[in-house]
Structure 1
């Protein structure tokens, strides 16, 4: 009896300790190792700023990030535009609280292997018709949602009709690698990942060149659950927002990469929700 009581007390103590920890995750838009490094440092920063333990929880896919948020396995998440909309529709009173300074006017790059002969232009690359094309993740805003929207707008055709073959690489870094290697002729990825690869001198940028840029749209965002104030105290969500906006360490910001963070609201992402409903990507 005593042993069982002791075990129960230990279990309850562990549950209380777990509840004191703020867990956050992020869509896996790049290599897992890179994500763990950058978000581990963010967890340390938030722990210091908020005075509560903060831990990063890695996930394997975009839908897994949304599911973890819905199931309260994480209370804060760095989402893309579409995954943020999906998550907020599933969790009552969830709200976007911050976005990168670049995220208010994000763009997607269409890149092409140099062997295709496609070159950069302000006009959509109509000459890509009949070539192979890869998106990123299926629910990526910059890697699928907005590229597909603009393909349909510019060509009047679905991607599967305009291109000879269409696939999904899984993430932006992989899109760059696959187009760079010639496995796919053309691909779409977010500009920040490509620009970072250029800055780092990645070999893929020598054979995968930007041929077109989409018009701007809102994208990545920090979203927080609506019940965090009840758990960590009144005004906690606002404190998290302030901590994110106050993040000014160049190393932390370079890891995203972002110049900084600014306030965001759910209304900022209404255009993303509208496009997602047009393409039937929301339940």
Structure 2
């Protein structure tokens, strides 16, 4: 489905019949296989519908940019963003707020991966041997799959990724990054540690072919962001009700789909380090 088609469908879901409560629409960055996202967020929509007492619908988008555009255009009012996509979205919608994050999102890390044929071993510092290899990021708008790995590459080598590697690609999502390095299509890559751990537990990773060679220092990442005008549409205090519903989510099945232990309060100021880093390497003005 094209981005335009997705956004048109979002507009349709936002509409309501006369007298019926408006549907709260949420989306999420497509950081993994789309089928996995539809399954996991459909259950979240059901939970929020029961808890909030208004219809809630999850609608998938096909890119990080589409998620941000939908949020900006009020085609979704709530979104599960990564650190960078959340910063970008909130800059476009005055009054929008980060309201909840996973407990693990306060100290997130990126894993650098290498194919076994490279002979690169795990290290406490970014291995110099990755220079000259082929390398794939995740999505161009990803915090863990692009922003932070690029920052540490520039810090370590003193130049842009194109000057470090023989070829640089963008896989589109974390699952695909792992798959591309595992097959040897790329020799090295950077991925979200949570996706790595989930797919490793699911038996989808062959550690004889691909391994973690370095992990970054910690940084803040994923969060739920909500538009600032939701109280005007659903009534005073609605934003706080959404926040409390997310914080109260304790079903292991729901939390395991993220995967997160629990959700804790978040604020826009928590993501100032992401904004500063994006500006430092030229991803934001």
Which one of the candidate residues 98, 116, 119 is aligned to 1:117?
119
Q: How does 1:60-139 map to 2 (within 5 A)?
A: 60-139=62-141
Q: Which runs of no fewer than 5 residues in structure 2 stay unpaired? A: 1-14
Please state whether the residue corresponding to 1:14 is helix, strand or coil: coil
Q: CA deviation at 1:275?
A: 0.7
Tell me how large the CA RMSD over aligned residues is.
1.2
Please state whether the residue corresponding to 2:169 is helix, strand or coil: strand
Which one of the candidate residues 160, 173, 176 is aligned to 2:175?
173
* CA–CA separation in structure 2 for the residues paired with 1:168 and 1:263: 32
For 2:200, the equivalent position in structure 1 comes to 198
Asked if structure 2 preserves the Cα contact closer than 8 Å seen for 1:181 and 1:204, the reply is: no
Q: CA deviation at 1:16?
A: 5.7
Spell out, residue by residue over 1:223-248, the C-alpha distance to the aligned partner (whole angstroms, 9 max, x if none): 00000011111111111111101111
1:43 to 2:45 alignment: yes
For 2:163, the equivalent position in structure 1 comes to 161
* CA–CA separation in structure 2 for the residues paired with 1:263 and 1:146: 23
Aligned residues: 271
Q: How does 1:137-148 map to 2 (within 5 A)?
A: 137-148=139-150
* CA–CA separation in structure 2 for the residues paired with 1:49 and 1:241: 11
Asked if structure 1 preserves the Cα contact closer than 8 Å seen for 2:22 and 2:54, the reply is: yes
Q: TM-score, normalised by structure 1?
A: 0.93
Spell out, residue by residue over 1:5-50, the C-alpha distance to the aligned partner (whole angstroms, 9 max, x if none): xxxxxxx963664x61100000000000000000000000000110
Q: CA deviation at 1:76?
A: 0.1
Spell out, residue by residue over 1:176-202, the C-alpha distance to the aligned partner (whole angstroms, 9 max, x if none): 000000000000001000011111111
For 1:14, the equivalent position in structure 2 comes to 17
For 1:28, the equivalent position in structure 2 comes to 30
Which one of the candidate residues 227, 240, 244 is aligned to 1:238?
240
The structure having more radius of gyration, on CA atoms, is 1
Q: CA deviation at 1:84?
A: 0.1
Structure 1 moving runs of 4+ over 6 Å = none
Spell out, residue by residue over 1:185-224, the C-alpha distance to the aligned partner (whole angstroms, 9 max, x if none): 0000010000111111114444110000000000000000
Spell out, residue by residue over 1:41-74, the C-alpha distance to the aligned partner (whole angstroms, 9 max, x if none): 0000000110000000100000000000000000
Q: Which runs of no fewer than 5 residues in structure 1 stay unpaired? A: 1-11
Q: TM-score, normalised by structure 2?
A: 0.93
